Structures are given as structure tokens and as C-alpha cells.
């Protein structure tokens, strides 16, 4: 059997009982280590599982899946995924490869940012398409995400924005020269994400990301408990000007609040507001939310 097992969002104890039982009977245990990160090192996982954990980078998962699937038709092998297994298309691809090889597969689900974003107080039913925001460079500033945000905004829906991470990436020079030298890991911060959104709004000019009038909620290390989790709400301008260290450690996510905003969402998220009075004022005057 080939298992893909969701680990949840925080540490080694977030794995489900079903997932832990599967891990313990596997002959090889791989950890997908590039689409997201856990808040603990793999040594903590190994101690808890009683198994060696093999780190699988992008190349291993995407182009060398045969290594992972080797002998999975006659023994149990698993790939551990932070969050839920279907949080990235990469994992759908490796399941299809396993099925093509007639290897039995089983998926064991867990919490992910896609449902844990409800910790912000926003109702999951009111979310539209999720988008990803990548690091801009001087010569590459892709803006297709803006169209998805606008489509959501036109329907009054919230948008979950997943912020870029760079793990085991090569510089253009090292890539061109074929040198296996990797850059230090980088994780996009809330201020950088907001500045990129504002930059694209300045060129598109549709008004859906008005720095002074668009509400947003920043989240980091959701599910990590009070010592790790951070939630901050405000206008885009307030989030941009807020101290960077107030957002906590990565990974960070951002929600662009849609106009179909319920007063209970306003009440809940105001607990995280940089300026509660302004949060409620914008919700009432700009979003048309009926507040007492």
C-alpha cells in the first residue's frame, strides 16, 4: 500500500490516530518538505513515530517519484504531507502515478489552512477561489492572481491568499551552470505580500484592493496554539504599516475580506483588529455591514 498521510498544521502530535497507525507499519516514511513546513524538526517526528523520516524535496516528489513508489506494491510506504494531502496538486499527481503502476493507494486526511482559516472568524461558506502569491522579482511580477481576487470580490466572497515559500531553490546563475548550490529558505511575510498586492492594484486600478478601504486578516502558524498562532485584522494600509514582528513566525497567509460580510464575522475578527473602531467603521461604511 502507498499511503499519503496528512500531518495537520503544527507539530508531531497533530497526526490522526489512523495516520499514526499507518506510519508505524510502513517500511519507508517520506516527508514532503517543500510545499509547506511544520513547526518542528523531523527529529521530533522520528521520536514520536519510532521511524526514520526521509526528507523528500521537490525533485524527489515531482521527478523521482519512482524512488518513493519503489516496492510499494509489496510493502507499505508512505508520504507525509503537512496539512492535508490534497492541499497541493503535486500529491494528486503522485497518486495517479501509483495507480498507473497498479499500486494500491490510501489517503488519510487532516486539518489544513483551507479549513483552519475559519480561526479568523470568517465563515468558510463565504470563501471563493484560493490564490497563491509568489515573490516578485525586478523582471517577473505575475498578476493572474488579481483576476481571481476580482472574481471573488465581484461575488462578495473572501479570498484566501497563500504566500510563497522558497525551499531548496537555486539562483539563476547556479541553475544555468548546473551547480547544486541552494539559496537559504525564504518565506513571504504579510507586509511584503500586502505591498505586492497594492503594487498590482496600482497598475490594474479596479479598486478592489483599496489600501484604505479593503479589510484583510493576516494569519500565521494557525493551529499552533497561543504561543505560536497569530491573527491580525485591519485595512490593507494598517497591515502594511504594522510592525513585521507582530505577525509571528512563518508560514503566513492573508485573507482579503469580501463584501458579503456578516456582522458576526465583524464581531469575531475585531478581537484581532489593529484598530477596532476603524475595523467596525470600514465594515459598516464601506462594506455596508449592519452593526449595532
Annotated binding residues, written as ranges, equal 9, 84, 87, 112-113, 163, 222, 252
Full pLDDT tens readout for the chain, 292 residues: 999 999 999 899 999 999 999 999 999 999 987 777 788 888 999 999 999 999 887 777 777 788 999 999 999 999 999 999 998 777 888 999 999 999 999 999 999 999 999 999 999 999 999 999 999 999 999 999 999 999 999 999 999 999 998 876 666 666 666 776 666 788 999 999 999 999 999 999 999 999 999 999 999 999 888 888 999 999 999 999 999 999 999 989 999 999 999 999 999 999 999 999 999 999 999 999 988 7
Name the region of 178 (left: φ>0; alpha: ψ -120 to 50; beta: rest). Answer: left
Cβ distance 37 to 7 under 8 Å? Answer: no
Annotated binding residues for S-adenosyl-L-methionine, written as ranges, equal 9, 84, 87, 112-113, 163, 222, 252
CA dist 133 and 21 (Å) reads 36
Radius of gyration from C-alpha coordinates of the chain = 21
DSSP codes, 203-230: HH--STT-TTT-EEEEEESTTS-TTT-E
Amino acid at each position: 500500500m502507498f499511503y499519503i498521510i496528512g500531518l495537520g498544521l503544527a507539530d508531531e502530535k497533530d497526526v490522526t490516530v489512523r495516520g499514526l497507525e499507518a506510519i508505524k507499519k510502513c517500511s519507508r516514511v517520506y516527508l514532503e518538505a517543500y510545499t509547506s513546513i511544520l513547526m518542528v524538526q523531523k527529529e521530533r517526528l522520528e521520536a514520536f513515530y519510532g521511524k526514520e523520516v526521509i526528507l523528500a524535496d521537490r525533485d524527489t516528489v515531482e521527478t523521482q517519484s519512482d524512488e518513493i513508489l519503489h516496492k510499494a506494491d509489496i510493502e507499505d510506504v508512505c508520504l507525509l504531507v503537512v496539512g492535508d494531502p490534497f492541499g497541493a496538486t503535486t500529491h494528486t499527481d503522485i497518486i495517479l502515478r501509483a495507480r498507473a503502476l497498479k499500486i494500491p493507494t490510501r489517503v488519510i486526511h487532516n486539518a489544513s489552512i483551507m479549513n483552519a482559516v475559519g480561526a479568523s472568524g470568517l465563515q468558510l461558506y463565504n470563501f471563493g477561489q484560493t490564490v497563491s502569491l509568489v515573490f516578485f522579482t525586478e523582471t517577473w511580477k505575475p498578476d493572474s492572481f488579481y483576476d481571481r481576487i476580482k472574481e471573488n470580490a465581484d461575488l462578495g466572497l473572501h479570498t484566501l491568499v497563500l504566500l510563497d515559500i522558497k525551499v531548496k531553490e537555486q539562483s539563476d546563475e547556479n541553475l544555468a551552470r548546473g551547480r547544486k548550490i541552494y539559496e537559504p529558505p525564504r518565506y513571504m511575510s504579510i507586509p511584503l505580500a500586502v505591498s505586492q498586492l497594492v503594487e498590482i492594484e496600482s497598475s490594474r486600478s479596479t479598486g478592489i484592493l483599496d489600501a484604505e478601504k479593503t479589510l484583510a486578516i493576516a494569519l500565521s502558524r494557525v493551529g499552533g496554539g497561543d504561543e505560536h498562532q497569530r491573527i491580525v485584522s485591519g485595512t490593507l494600509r494598517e497591515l502594511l504599516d504594522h510592525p513585521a514582528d507582530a505577525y509571528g513566525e512563518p508560514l503566513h497567509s492573508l485573507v482579503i475580506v469580501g463584501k458579503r460580510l456578516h456582522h458576526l464575522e465583524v464581531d469575531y475578527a475585531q478581537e484581532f483588529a489593529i484598530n477596532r473602531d476603524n475595523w467596525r467603521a470600514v465594515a459598516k461604511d464601506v462594506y455596508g455591514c449592519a452593526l449595532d
